[in-house]
């Protein structure tokens, strides 16, 4: 979605839009199924232009759609797709815990129904 927004020059936060419809199981606010995410992106782009949501990037003159922080007067900083801030790296402690969780031994799962059936066959039932 982000690549499509950049390619077409759309003023939408594509990641937010994707997460919004993903959380709603691809239904819009009226409960209707989403047939085309591209159409939703164009609609969002049109609404951004109509409501004056077109801001300039802090680092270049391209239109900015991503908000990151605020200045001393409380106005948000806007960034374009190219200058969107990268997410903060995961803390080392959390990364170590994630690696340990992946290295847990794979215990054999016992299917109790199969064990019960084996015992019943042994008893002649």
pLDDT tens for 4-56 read: 887 888 878 888 888 888 888 888 888 888 888 888 888 888 877 776 666 77
Do 20 and 67 share a domain, yes or no? yes
**51 and 74 share one domain:** yes
Q: For residues 59 and 38, state if they share a domain.
A: yes
Rounded Cα distance between 60 and 62, Å, is 6
The predicted structure's pLDDT at residue 103: 73
Rounded CA separation 89/71 (Å): 24
Query: pTM value?
Result: 0.47
Render pLDDT for 69-110 as a digit per residue (tens, 0 to 9). 777 777 777 777 777 777 778 888 888 887 877 776 666 666
The pair of structure tokens assigned to 103 is 């290295």
Do 60 and 107 share a domain, yes or no? no
Host domain of residue 25: 2-92
Residues 101, 55 share a domain: no
Domain count, the chain: 2
């Amino acid at each position: 979605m982000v690549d499509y927004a950049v390619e077409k020059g759309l003023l939408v936060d594509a990641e937010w839009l994707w997460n919004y419809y993903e959380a709603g199981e691809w239904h819009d606010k009226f409960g209707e199924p989403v047939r085309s995410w591209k159409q939703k992106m164009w609609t969002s782009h049109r609404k951004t232009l109509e409501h004056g949501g077109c801001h300039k990037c802090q680092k270049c003159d391209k239109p900015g759609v991503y908000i990151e922080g605020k200045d001393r007067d409380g106005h948000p900083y806007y960034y374009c797709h190219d200058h969107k801030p990268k997410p903060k790296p995961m803390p080392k402690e959390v990364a170590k815990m994630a690696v340990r969780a992946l290295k847990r031994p794979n215990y054999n799962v016992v299917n109790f129904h199969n064990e019960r059936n084996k015992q019943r066959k042994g008893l002649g039932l």
